[in-house]
Each structure stands twice: as structure tokens, then as C-alpha cells.
Chain A
Amino acid sequence: MKKLLIITLSLFVLAGCKFLAYQKYAKTLSVSFGSGGGFTGAVDEFILNGNGTLKSIKPFTKDTILLKTLAKKDIKTIFKTLESESLSKIKLDAPGNMTNFITFSKAGKIIQKYQWSQGTTVPNEINELFLLLNKQTQP
């Protein structure tokens, strides 16, 4: 019984360390997404940081507005998706007159960039991720 308790505690400690480690790691992550181009060339961009802050960069004025701070589980879901193996295999570089984009960065360095023009058929994984990210921008 005592042995079991020790093992259980150890697992908790390990799990806790892992979670803390992930939190620390997540703070280096960010994803920017949005769309831009068209007649005006304006870009409507959002940036979600690993600490959960979601900001909007307004076209034309370039004003940055803090929209909200996401819950930790939501952040984890999003960045786990971004780091998933299936997503990392997808290469999508098809800009057009109105281009949607998702740019995933670690410590300021771009890891993955997906861009596609509206009307392009894109992999479901990208579509779902783009929808998920845009969903976060809703009040």
C-alpha cells in the first residue's frame, strides 16, 4: 500500500513537472492567422500566443487589440494540433488574390506556414484548424 502510494505520488509529480514544462514551452509558441489581399491589399491578422493572449492586428491602422485570453486547455488543444505529425506533413503555399494564412512560430522562428487563396481546395486538417482558430476570435 505504501509502495503504491509512492508510485502514485511519483506519477503526480512527474505529470505535474510535464505540465509545467509544457506551459513553459508553450510560452515560446505563437500562431498568426487571418486573410489579406484583394483590391486593397489589406491584411486582417490575429495572433495567438502560447500564454493564451489573442490579439487582433487591424488592417490599415495596424492597431493591436487584445481580444481575450484563452483557457489553458484551449491553448493546448490548438498548439498540439499545430504540432501534430499529420499537419506537419502538409505543405500548402498557394497565395492568390485573397489569401488565408496560418503561420506557426516557435521562439519567433517560423516553423510552418500555410497559405492558400479563397476558393482553393485545401486539406481538411487545415480547414478545420482555420475554423478552430477563427472561432476563438468570436466574443
Chain B
Amino acid sequence: MKIKQYLLSLLLMPFVLMAQTPNKLDLRTKRTHLKNDFINSIPVVNGQKNTTEIIDRKLPTLNAIKVEVDLRQLEVKRIAIANTAQATEKAYGYLLVNKQLVHPSFDANQLTVYNSELDKMGQSHIKMQQYYNGIEVAGCEVFVHFLGSETYSHGTWANIPNGFSAIPTISKDLAVDKTFAVIQPDFGFTVLSNQQKVLLKYNRPEIKTIIAIENNKAILCYEIMVRPNAIERWVALVDAKTGEIVKQYNNTCHVDGPKTGTGNDLNAVQRSINSYLIGSNHYLIDATKSMYNASQSSLPDDPSGAIWTLDAGNTPATNFNNISSTSANFNNTKAVSAHYNAGVAFDYYKATFSRNSINGSGGTIISVINVSDASGNGLDNAYWNGQFMAYGNGKTVFKPLAGGTDVAGHEMTHGVVQNTANLEYNGQSGAINESMADIFGCMMDRADWKMGEDIVKPGFYAGGALRNLQDPHNGGSSLSDNGYQPKKMSEYYNGTQDNGGVHINSGIPNHAFYLFATATTKEKAEQVYYRALTTYLTSSSQFKDLRSAVIQSCKDLYSITEASLAADAFDAVEIYGPPVSGGGGGGNIGNNVADLDPNPGSDFILYSNEDPASSFTISKGTLATGSAVGQITRVTNRKPSVVDDGSYCVYVGADNKIYSLLLDGSKTETLLQNQAIWANVAISKDGKRLAAITTNTDTSIYIYDFGKAAWKSFKLYNPTFSGVNSGGVQYADALEWDHTGTKVMYDAKSLINNQNGTDYSYWDVGILDVWNLEVNDWSFGSIQKLFSSLPDGISIGNPVFSQCSPYIVAFDYVDGNNNQVLVTGYNLNTNKIGTVFTGSDLGFPCYSRTDNILVFNALNVNSEIVVAQKALNTDKITGSGSATVLVNLAKWGVWYANGSRQLLFNDKDILAFAFEGLNPQVAATINGTNINCTVPGNINVNTLTPSFTNSPYSYVRIGSNKQTSGVNKNNYSTTVVYTVVAQDGSTKNYNVNVQKVAVGLSKSEQLSEIELYPNPATHQVFLTSAKPIQKVIVYDIQGRMINTIEGNSTGRLSIDIQLLQSGLYFMTVKTTEGEVLMRFTKS
């Protein structure tokens, strides 16, 4: 009744916003670590340890011989304090009694009171300085406080070793000379006027003998203060025995903030360097960029929106230290290079594409220098690890890699790729990933087409650079030559090394870019490629998709002219595709996708009943009638999960056991699993498998296959390209099966330890591959993240698939920065994201049967929880109109239907087949399961590379060898059988027959005797032949027959093409002597 009551009811008023945090998603019950000895009644689930990677940026502790004093006394001991003298006496007494708590070497005689104070509250504070043989031990003080009934002390004590000599051996004058020799005042050296000396109370350098504690050593020093000019005040510590400079710093009182100085880089070029002054130290933190966020920065260890350069100290990026200077000038050439180049990269993306940093939303750009290999040796490499750019110092082949602007651009672009198309680092998609990094790296260092020319040592690469977009062969002739890359598809590397040749085959798209950029301009080419990367490419894009994406981007940004030039560039590297036409796209971009038929049954909604007047916990509503019926009274941990035909659901009860419930009206509840360990469960749409999580802090998802009657655990992890600073997975919570029953989408909490030791956690969404349909067995458990990274303060969770479009999902987007929860839609194929609803609490969204509505939790005007609904646009990821209440006093709406439908795609067709590498291209005709193709007589059919398009979600093999369009070569001298395997495992064989044309006629004879004109043509084309033309058949680029024209005895024929769309076409012209294939363009 409630549904009917509200189906047509009130619009939801703006919902009350409540304070949210990224941990809002963490509504889970308090978790405990999984016990190692827990017993499972069904085959099991072993306890898993958390695997948290900690990135520790703490500075090392150096003062081993210093001890921190903290003698807080918990025992109440009232000390009557009459005056400070009395307090001083008491302080000594107190320290003497408790000296063992400080350090065995503690000697109260080394302390001299320099301040004692009796405050207005009657509390006394005694401050003491440590002296050794009358010489001040710098930085070592002890304070004792008498606070009413309590006494405590704190401070620092240094253990000066026995025998330490406190007698200087060099003169103070020499120490002053050394000080002047080493300091680098920003304003130079000037002679102070008498007036300035009076004003500054400075006549000459001020010298004090102290004992400094540096790097665990006590050093007798002269502390020398000098004023090199009227502005600056420098302090140096000079070893009073050796004359060495222990420390020197600018002690001028500056206002903290961004400063600009200079420094020479690795190429001996003086660079302007932006640093940040804190106290007397300048840190390599560039806070001058527009992305800098002062309010979220904690300097120097946690800047936000800055360019930040750190030093790994010749570790494999396991330690990180800030790089600082006592002036705004830096003399660390590697640091200067890395810092400067990161700024160049940021500026390039900002100025050229208005891109705000690597992640597009102002994330801090971190560079790390002095990174070693795993053994601590020199690293001949630089890399992007998902979080920062790491630079080795070179070894055999390279100089310090921070010295290359194109290196910085390359590495930073990996971050941009990660945050946009997120191209998988494998095979062709990985090669595109590498190519994009090279292309934009090259554009940041655009004087030439070489990569790494500034950082290679002489002699190793014949071309003088690591790679070369202009000439990918780079002075070599085969893969065995240093720096060689293929430059066209016929040179494609088909092996397994280098993740399927990601650094090798990138030469092919690299060269296409070079050809395109030189045919147009670099300025146009970079805009086109950036659009292709950010708008059209997807994680699994292949070379053909890149071609289509670039051509389409040309059309979007410029004109058909640029698109044609792009097509020519790709043709030249033998990445073929349909010819460029004025309208439409340049072919399919990204994966082909398809939709399932909607469930043909009636609509129902299952929901958690939140009406306190009702005894039912789960109710079922019939949407056609608006009626609702209570189902169970058992409290459930999470929302129920329903099989696709709506016959039953599963859920975890408050007793942490797994139950099923028939939805046929019988309300039959069955205990599926009686261990009280479960937190959530989901059943696959086909009912073949369960996915479950335990109540523990458990990094695994447990899958139960009913066919095998077995559990298998899948441990969760965060792939690098899944996120900047992704941390370690703690546990999953929400679970959702895809339509195939092979993948589980989940949300999981990850934990990051930051440098201050305060844990930061967030939720994100992954898709876990658990079942392999091809072998009908467990899969490898690989994980793909929905988003490669999330901005600071953002979490996502409660993901669901749409009911009919496997590539559409919805989830809760929790914006901790703005205290909002957005119910969000996302298209995995196009990477487009949309907002359905902005609310104040988690939505737990669910799609309707036909995906035209999204239901979700919301609050009504009375702040009561309801299941709301909102119409969706046809994109299924954005909302339309206003939200309305579907079920009042309810939550966790699960929309389902009770019909049966095919859940696996059975499409297994070859839709197009062509030899695009031939000139002219040759498209095959597809008749049933026969694919017929006629090629010119001079073509060697023993080694041809076809391009083909097959049904979405299917794959193609010859025998057992999987075929990749545009990659695999085959021998077509006899019929080749292509097998298309549909998602449901069914197969369909196609016979590919390739025939040569014009037996008895050579190509030259054909061409000389038949003429086609004009070409291109708009209205009609004419054929003339020395022989009578018997028949002409016109085909489109896909090989589809368009028209058949009967010939005549004259040897002249006109063909009307006015009705054809613009593009490339073929025709077979049959004469009394044979047949010839010709092509023409309809303009």
C-alpha cells in the first residue's frame, strides 16, 4: 500500500545535508581480525592478513645520544613553593631523585638555571641549560614545572662522552674566515655603514663556543653570527678543532612562503627555482602554481597542490627526505632538474590543455631523485609508480635521468593516462600508453623528435637517443639493436617480453604521430592526441581504436582535411581503418558493446522495511499494483541479492549466517550456510555462485560455486595503475555480480599511512575476475579498478551494474570535501560519468528492469529514510527531472523482475573482413558463413594480415590460436577457417576464401585496358574498356554489396553514385577476358 501511496506523490524537497566524511561508507559493524583457527563447516576460507603498504616519509632520528626528558610524576606530591629560589632548589632535588629516568649519564651539576618564574597561578617553572665544562651544549635544556600537586619536567639531555675535550685548536679568526667563505647571501656582501651598525647593534662577527650535537656526535664548535649585508643574518657552526663547517644557515627573519631562487641543473643550465621558505630553510616545494591549496597543506611534509621534490637517498624509493637549502638558491643539480622539469610538465598541461595537474584536479606532483635499484645500486631508469616520478642516477647507459625534460614529461604523462583512458599496461593498449607518454614528453621538449637524448651516455645508442619518433629504427635494423623500435605493423613485435612489447611496439603509434604532426603542425597534433586520450580511448583500446580516436578528434577540433592527414599517417604505419568520410566517426572507438534484452517479467521491488510499526524487516512490493507484502522478520546485515529471474534472494542475517528466501509468495526461508562469520553475500544473476565477505578485517572475497560445491578465496589488492597512493586493502563490503556470473564488483576500504603516522582511509570500487567461461573454472582473480585514482577526500562505494547494459554502473560518490553524497552513473566504455542525484546520505542505488529509473536511499522532508526514484536519460548515467518517493520508511531498494532471459551473449558473427593493408584496400563479401575476397593477381596470399570486426563479447580463433584484428598474419592460399566464440561458449565457423583476380590477365594489362573516371566523383563514374564490360558489382568498405550493374557490348559504362554516402567504394569489373578490382571515392 505504501508504494501506491507514494508512487505519484510528492517531489522530494532538497535533502538535508549532514556532515559527511570519506569514511561515511564505513557503516560496517566493528570488525575484528580473522582468527586463524576459525572453523568453517563448508570448505573453506583461510584467514588472511592485511597487506598494507606503508609509505614512511619520516625523517630519520639522528640524536641517538640525546634523550628526551619526561619525568611526569603520577604520584601526588604537594610541594610548598614560597619563591623561585626555593623552587630552584626543589627542581634540582627532583631531578637528582629521578635522574635514572633521564639517562644513566645524567648529572644535575651540568645544569644551570637561566630562568625561574613564579606565575600568577602560583605555579613555578624552572628552565635549565646544560653545560659541559662550562661550555653550552646547544639545544639541551631541561624544564621543571611545579603545577600545584604535580611536578614534571621535560627537555633534552646530551650524553657527552668521557674524555671529550672542550679545548679549541683553531683560532676564532680562522673560523670567521671560513664562515665568510661558505655562506651565500641572497643579497651579496656589502660593507655596513656606521649608521647601519648602530641600528643593527653589530660591529663585527659574534662568536660563541658551544658543543653541538650533530649526527650523533658531540662537536666543539664556534657558533659565528655574521651580517654580510644590512638585510641578512647568517649563522655558521665551525668545528673548533678541525675548522670544518658543521652547519650554516641564513638566520634572517623572513616571512615564510614561496620564494624564487636559482640553481644549475644537470645540463649546467641555470634554472629559476620555486621553493618554500619555512623558518630558515627553503624546501623544494613549489607553491606558486594555481593548484596550490594552502588550507589543506601541512608544510613541509604534506603539501597540497604543489610541485614537490624529494630525495630517496639512494634507496629503492623506500625512504624519502625533503630537500632544503638555507637560501633560495640550490646547488643540488639533480634536484634542480627534477623540480624544474616537473614545473615544465605542469605548465605544459595547464597552458596547452587547461589540465590542472596530473590527476586533473590539482593533485600534488611528486618527483623523487636518487632512487636506486632493489639492491641499492645505481638505477639506469626512471619510472612512474602510480604515486610519484622516480629518477635513478644512471649506471651503464644513462646519466642521471632527472636531467631530461622529456623524461619528466614521459613519466608525468603516465599519470595523466592513468587518470584518463587508464590504458592497460599490456599489449597494444600498453604500447599506446607508452606512446602517449613519449608523444607528450616529446612535445614538452619539442626541439626534436628524440626521447632521452639529454640523458644517454655516448656510444650506446647509434641514434644518440633512447627512442626517436621520427625514425623509430633509431639507427638500428632489428630488435637486437639498441634503441630499435618497429615503425610499421609489418615490423610488429608479437612476443611476450616487455608485457607484450609495450616499449617496443610504441614505435608504431609514435611514428604515426610524427607523420601527422609534420603533415599538420605540432600544435594541432598535440590537441588532437590529447582529445583522443581523454575523450575516446578506453583502457583496452587497440591501435585501430587509436586511429579512429585520432581521426574523430580531428573532425571534432578541426576539419576533414586534418582527419585525412591523420588517416594517411596511420596508413603509412599500416594501422588501417575505414577511409575518412565527411560525416560520422572514423570507425568504432573502443570496445564494441551490446545490451541485454530486458527481463520480460513483471516489476517488483525488495526493500528493507524501516517502518517501526511493521514487524517485517524485508518486504516485497509489486510495482504494477503498488501493493507490498512483508516477507521476513529476521534482521539482515545488508540488502538482499536477487537472482535474475527473481525466484529467490540471499542475504546475511544479524546472526551472520547466510539465508535464502523464495520470492514466489511462499516466504520459504532456508539457512544456506550456518557459520556465524558472514557480513554480506551476493548471488550471481544465474544463481550459480555466491560471493561473500566475513565480519572480520579480511582482505578476501569468498566465492562459492554450486557446481563445484567449493569455496575459493580471492585476495584483494590495489593495482598500481588503480590509484595514486592507493595504500593497502583492508576489507570489502558491498558485492555485486555482473550478468555473466564471472566478475564481482565490490567496494573496499583501503588504508594509507601518511608521513605523520595518521592513517587515512578511503573506499573505492574494483571488479574482481573470479570465473573463466572458456575453461569453466576459477579465474586468476585479477582486479580492475573502476577509477584509477580518487581525489583526496573522495570515496566511492555501493556499486551496481545496470540491468541491461553490462558497461553501465551506478554507485555512491562521497565527497568529503563538500559534505555531499552523489548518486552517480558511469559508462565504462566511454569513461563518461554523470550525476543522478545529490543527497545527504548513502544511496545504495539500483537500476530498474529497463534501466530507465534508478532507485536509491534518500531522506524525505521529514528526514525519514525512503526509497526514492529518479528517471534516467537514455545515457543511463544522468538523471532527468526530479526525484520522487517510491517507498516511504524504507531503504535498500532492489528492483527485480520475474521473467527469464538470456544472460550471456550468443552473438558470434564476423561483421566485416578486409585486407586494409593492400593498396587499394580489399574488402571481403560475407555471405552466410563464407567470406570471399578477391585480391589483385600480384598479391602474395601466403602472408596477409586481415582486419575484421566480430560480435561484441566474442573472440576469434583459428584452431586454438586467438586472432587479433590487424595483427595476425595467415596463409590464404587455401580456405582458412575462422572460429568465432560467443560469450556463452557457442561457436560459429567462417570459411575465408581469398582468390586472385583476372586469371590470364596481368595487373598492368587490367589497369591499362580499363579506366575509371573521375575519381573522386560526386554524381557518376565512367568505365571504359578495350573489352566489352559484362558486369560491375559495387561494394562498400565493409564488403557489403551495394549495387550490380549489367554491362553492354560497347566497353563503356556510366554508373550513378549520387545515392551513395561519401567514402571509399570498390567495384569488380567483369569483362570478356576476366575480372578486375577497382576502387573509387564518392566525395
A residues in contact (CB < 8 Å) with B? 34-44, 58-61, 89-99, 116-124, 127, 134, 137-138
Query: What would be 26 A-B contacts, judged by CB atoms less than 8 Å apart?
Result: A35-B373, A35-B374, A39-B382, A40-B397, A42-B381, A60-B460, A90-B715, A91-B781, A93-B782, A94-B717, A94-B720, A95-B426, A96-B721, A97-B386, A97-B720, A116-B717, A117-B386, A117-B425, A118-B317, A118-B383, A118-B386, A120-B720, A122-B51, A123-B51, A124-B49, A127-B51
Closest to A61 in B: B396
Question: If the complex has contacts A41-B498, A118-B317, are A60 and B425 also in contact, measured as CB distance less than 8 A?
Answer: no
The answer on a CB contact under 8 Å between A39 and B381 is yes
Instruction: Tell me the smallest distance from the CB of A41 to a CB of chain B, in Å.
Output: 3
The answer to whether A134 and B780 touch across the interface, beta carbons within 8 angstroms, is no
Contact B499 A40 (CB under 8 A): no
Beyond A37-B503, A93-B780, A98-B383, 14 additional pairs, beta carbon < 8 A: A38-B382, A39-B410, A42-B381, A44-B374, A60-B397, A91-B780, A96-B386, A98-B390, A118-B383, A119-B387, A120-B719, A121-B718, A124-B51, A137-B375
Neighbouring B residues of A61 by C-beta, 8 Å: 396
Given A40-B381, A91-B781: A99 touches B499 (CB 8 Å cut-off): yes
> A40, A58, A93: which has the most chain B beta carbons within 10 Å?
A40
Given known A-B contacts A61-B396, A94-B782, A96-B386, A119 and B720 have beta carbons under 8 A apart: yes
- Of B373, B383, B411, most A-chain CB atoms within 10 Å: B383
If over half of B's interface residues share one DSSP class (helix, strand or loop), that class is named, otherwise mixed; here it is loop
A-chain residues with CB within 8 Å of residue B373 when the two chains form the complex = 35, 44
Q: Is the interface of A mostly helix, strand, loop or mixed?
A: loop
Q: How many residues of B contact A (CB 8 A)?
A: 54
- Whole-angstrom distance between the Cβ of A96 and the nearest chain B Cβ: 4
Q: Is the CB of A96 within 8 A of B385?
A: yes
Which residue on chain A has the smallest CB distance to residue B374?
A: A134
Which of B466, B721, B727 meets A39, CB within 8 Å? B466
Contacts of B498 in A (CB 8 A): 36-37, 41, 43
A contact residues around B317 at 8 Å (CB): 118
Q: What residues of A have a CB within 8 angstroms of the CB of B51 in the complex?
A: 121-124, 127
B128 → A minimal CB distance (Å): 47
Binding site for A on B (CB under 8 A): 49, 51-53, 317, 373-375, 380-387, 390, 396-398, 401, 407, 410-411, 414, 425-426, 430, 434, 452, 460, 466, 482, 497-499, 502-504, 713, 715, 717-721, 726-729, 780-783
The distance in angstroms between the C-alpha atoms of A95 and B386, with both chains bound, is 12
Known: A38-B383, A39-B381. A94 touches B783 (CB 8 A): yes
Specify which of A39, A96, A123, A134 is in contact with B717 (CB 8 Å cutoff).
A123
Known: A91-B782, A117-B721, A134-B374. A39 touches B407 (CB 8 A): yes
Q: Considering only CB atoms, which chain A residue lies closest to B387 in the complex?
A: A119
Nearest CB on A from B53, distance (A): 5
Asked if A119 meets B385 with Cβ closer than 8 Å, knowing A39-B407, A40-B466, A91-B780, the reply is yes
A92:B384 contact, CB within 8 angstroms: no
Q: What chain B residues lie within 8 Å of A99 (beta carbons)?
A: 425, 499
Bound Cα distance from A39 to B845, whole angstroms: 42
Q: In the bound complex, what is the Cα–Cα distance between A61 and B480 (angstroms)?
A: 10
Tell me, in angstroms, the Cα distance from A94 to B780 when the chains sit together.
Answer: 11
B contact residues around A98 at 8 Å (CB): 381, 383-385, 390
Known: A39-B452, A41-B503, A124-B51. Is A119-B386 also a contact (CB below 8 A)? yes
Name the one of A36, A119, A123 contacting B715, with C-beta atoms under 8 angstroms.
Answer: A123
Q: How far is the CA of A120 from the CA of B788 in the complex (A)?
A: 12
A96 and chain B: residue at smallest CB distance: B720
Residue in B closest to A98 when the chains form the complex, CB atoms: B383
- For A119, the chain B residues whose CB sits under 8 A away are 53, 385-387, 720, 726
Closest Cβ of chain A to B420, distance in Å, is 15
List A contacts of B397 (CB < 8 A). Answer: 40, 42, 59-60
